[in-house]
Structures are given as C-alpha cells and as structure tokens.
A and B are shown apart, each in its own frame.
Chain A
C-alpha cells in the first residue's frame, strides 16, 4: 500500500513537472507583462500587440528563429525567467544594477522617462516631499518607480502597490489615488488618451538619477545564455541600420 502511494505521488509530481527536454534555440519563448500600453497590450479582438511585441517579432525574424510570447505578471517575471518558463523577457524592463545581478541584459533598445500623473484637480506643479505630504501614491509593485517612490517618499506619503498597471489606473479613476508614478508613454496612453482634460502630467519627465532609472529598456536573458543575447544584439543593430526599427518606433510613438 505504502509503496503504491509513494509511486503515485512521484508519478503525479513528475507528470506535473513534466516535459524535460534539451534546450534548442530555434524557438525562443519571451515573457511579457500585459497590458502595458503602448509597449504591450491586446487589441479589442484579443491580438497581442505593442512596441515590444512588434520589435521582438522583428528581431526573431532577423535572427531566423520563431518566437512565442508568454504572459507573466510583473512581480514574478524574473523568477519566471530563472525557472525557464521562458527564455527571455521583453517587457519594458529597465536595465539597472539590481537586476544585472540576476539576469543578463541585451543592449538597450529604447529609453523611456518616467513621469507623475494626477487628476487635473490635484493642483500642484511639481512632485516633491512637500506637495505629496499625506497623499496616496500609486506604483506598480517591484518596478523602478516603486523603488524610487519608496526610497524618497515613504516617510511623507502613503504608497499603494499594484500587481498590474490596470489595477492602478482603475483605482486612480475611482479616486482612491491622488497621483501615480509611471513610465511616461504608459501613463500617456492609458490616462491622457481617454480624456485630455481629466489627467495631467505633473512636472518634468524623470530619468535621473541613473541609480533608479537605469540605462533604458533591455531584453533580459539568463546569465549563461550569452550566445543568445549576442544574437539579439546583432539583430537589433541590423534593424536599426535598415530602418525597420524606426518604422516600428513611429508606429507607436509618432515622430519625435
């Protein structure tokens, strides 16, 4: 009886942990946290799209491999890479030292500032310790914005952390939050596009200090997959040369 039980437990465990196979990079699985408009989101008919998605697919074409996108929430996205749920992360991930200890980054493929967004009724011109005193700030958990806000405003303001950017926008609309701190294009497309007068950007776009805001967005790989990262770097350089990169950029951000 006992033996039977042991065997069945083992069987279940193996069936669950299943599909051990040799790695083969003809096919690369890329982890992405959706939605994060306009970097990665779904259109009304459910199709995955966005700057990262288009660029990622173009990179795979250039290298001559197939890509598969795997959705993963942000706060589990690096552990998911480590555990080989996917082979790369292309999800608006800022390159910084903290993450470099965990993963291997490609060259930066885009640079994005962060910015404060608030309802237009929130009458301030600059976000600092004085104007935010006693306010509620929304950030996405585990992002560099979270780190920045936590280290700079934790003593004066209360910070609400969300699993997804969607949750945060909803609570902003519900008036639970006074202000949110986001990647600029994300806030622009989710908050400003709905109604131009309801929300405003407070102050300048922020990309300093580098300690928090890093060196732009990069594709993350497992430390030992140097060869794969190198292929992506080469492909990125080629796409920048032949104009494909600019074309994709204009598709989402217009000409800047």
Chain B
C-alpha cells in the first residue's frame, strides 16, 4: 500500500479538498468536500479492494446535515442492569442468525433491535436470492463464506421451518462472439474460485428451461445451486429459534452510547436501560460504523446504497421459475448485476434491485425512476414483463464498506467487541456460515462456554394451510376451526394462522408484523379487504380497542377511535 499514491488519487478527484493519511492502519480521509458525491468519490478512490486496511471517512460535506438515527418512542428501564454474556446489536439476518448459533451454548444472550420488528431494514428489503457466488473471486470474505453459506441453506431452512427452493440462476448473453471468453471465465470460476456448479448452457437449452425469456439470447451461465428464500421469514425464524433456546430479543431498543475503559466495553446505554455485557456483537447494518465508534474501534466506514425491488402479481409468477439477469457486455455495470428477475418462494416475481448511492441511512422512500430503470432493463431478459403486474415496491439500504467486502473480525482496539459489518449482498446467503464463525469468536472471547443441553435446532413454523391437501386441511380445522376461516382471500390466510403468529415466540402485534409472518395483505389487493379484519383480530388479541392497533411504528395509528365517541347519550 502506497499512501502517497492514494493521497494523489484522492486529491485529484476532490480538487485538492480531501487529504488521505495512514493512521492506526486505516486510510483516514479528511477535509471538506463540495458535495456528498465528491466525498464518496474520494473514499472510493482510496479504497483497496478486499484489503484489511479500510477507508475511514472523516470528510465533512458542505451544507449536508445528517439526520440523526430514528429513535424508538419507548423510554423505560426494561433491561436496565442486565448482564448478558453476549449483547447482539441488530436484529437483521446477521444478528438473528448469530443469536441462534450462540444459543447452542449455555450463555445469557440479549439481542437488541431499534425497530419495532426484526428484519425491518436491509434484511427485510432484500430480494431473497441465495447466491451461487458466480461474480466473486477468491480472496474476499464474501467469496470465503458464500460457498459454505449456500451449501448450508437446505439444512438450515429445514430446521427452521422456512421454505427454500433451489431454482437456479441464469446470466444471459446476447453476444454469440463472447461465448469463448465467457467459457474461460466460467472455467476460472469453476476450478480456481471453486464455484463448482457453474456451467454454460446454449440459448436453445435456456429456452427449453425458460421459454418466456428473450429469444435473442445466445447462451447463459447457469448456476443450479442458486436458491430463493423469504429473507424476513428466515430472519424471524432464526430469532424465534434463538428465543426458544433461551435468548432474549428486545425490539424498540436502540443503543445510544457505551462506556469504554481500557479498551473494553463496560456498559451499553439504550433507551430501555443500561446493560453490562461481557461481549458485544456489532451487527448494526448501516449503523455498524456508529457502534464501532462508540466502542472506540472505528476502523471502517459505511456508505449507504439504496436498492428498490418490485413485486409482481402471482399471475406473472408463471412466466419464469428461476433467477435471471442479463449481462450486456457493452455497458459497464455498477456494483450489482443491475438487478434481475426472481421467482420468489411465494410464487410472485421480484424485479430488481437497482443500486443508488445515498447519504441517508434510513430513507427507504421509493422513487419512480428506480422502477422505470429496472423494468426497461429486465424487459430485455423477459419481454412479457409488464409494470401493470406490479402489486408493490419497496426500497432498502445496503451497508457496504468502501472496500466492498465484509468485516467479520474481533475488535482491533476494543477487546470485547466482534464486528459483523459491511454486510451487503450476498449477506443473506453467507449469514448461516458467518454466524458459526462469530459464535467461535465469541466463545474464544468468553473463554469458552458449556454446551446448552436443551438446545433444539428445530422450529415449528405456523402451518401454511393453503399448501395442504383437503384432507390435511380438514384435520387441522377439526383441531382448530379458526384454520377454516379465511381472512386474507388473496393469499388464502386463515384466522388460525394469524392467531398463531400472534402467539409465536416473538409477538409483534401490528398489521405489518402479522403480514411479515403469515402474509395477510401481501397479495394483489394489498390488504384492501383484509386489513380491517386483521386489525380487529389484533385488537381482540390485545384486548384493546381498534384504535390502539398500529400498522408498525408507535405513531402509525390506523384509526382515530370510535365515530360515536362523545356524541352524547343518544348513541
């Protein structure tokens, strides 16, 4: 690494406004940039891909006011004074999977999540692809974990009662001339990078498998190990299994500060009291840099990157049954494959995501341009795609470092923190494997732990009645007639399934919480018919009036109380 060269590069892209220096084995960038884009460009220019020396962004940007992290409205002492062996910060796929793996040991585990539910940010706004790793070269952590993670999916999902399908992926090419080159690329991937399922298939074979794809494709890279999973479903399942095995999950709980002495975290402040953990795991997504900073261990920076996905009606699900993208050799791509088409585990199609850099970590508002861009591109893969089949769309914010690799390591200056940071695609795929390694690191830090003799890896999911035969279904209804009362007609969800979700290990009694767990409102009417019914069921479960039920956050009231309130005695 040559800091002088980096300094020159950084200076060039910033008009001399940004300086780079090597400090504590980090490339620290300082100065005042004219714009946020300029700061971003400087940081990217300084980054050494896949290195251990990370860019730390201390550039200030003119006129850029960073919004403070959104805080939960609750303020109490619910966890004050607790002394967990392990405190996990973040309830996304990383935090939830780590919590579950740690419960194999006799440990006191506390997971805190600032949002009102698990998987509310990147993990819940993910496309659900279990990647093969065809775009990853040896040397990165992403590559190291992807093969392990991908292989683990079948067993993990079976244990956790989560649907998982290996549907295969096709990266499609229009240029016949490129085939020998791509064939070489695939050989490298297969034999050097050990992405062993990679192969080239002909255009003819591709059309046999996916007849609705563009007829102009000449060949494709096929990776049959590619799968699809429900990303928030898996996160919730991991967390539920952790809770079943003794972990504690605290939602609406945000970390606000830490007391650090002699390179060790003594206590962690939250809006629900101060806790005194032996070790801390930083799985805080876009806020992992802030957590590292609190621990006095900030050696990387996160630059948020938005991605928007659309979900299409199940009718469109019949058009294709795999994961596909188009590789246009003329146009250079950005950081992802530029999105793709994915047949989801719920039989919708998912289109996206795009990749747009942003300065706002929590801005998940959607924009029409994202949809238009992704659709115009993906129609090249499958001409029958139509915006008219869209039933919803959503945006998530990824949490990459400037090196575009994961940070999975013990603290450099803080002795009792482990970072699971910089997690972006393929973080969902790698999570099961990463969690095992973090478990190992935590045990090392704690000086070992006894095995948890009661650990049960199996989570029984809420039954999905729509997938059962009439006979099975009748038996279930005999036991519980609520399974026979359909509340959500689009997704065919019964009252019994909704009540099961309310009675699950991590109860989130909101319309969105129920929607994520058992899918009422996920269908083509988007809750038009069922949302009043679901609201009423939740109110009944809580034994509260309807106006006390929330969509998601505390302020997301649905109704303002009875229309008959305060109208005098005639009512």
A and B associate in one complex: no
Write the residues of chain A forming the contact surface with B, with a CB cutoff of 8 angstroms. Answer: none
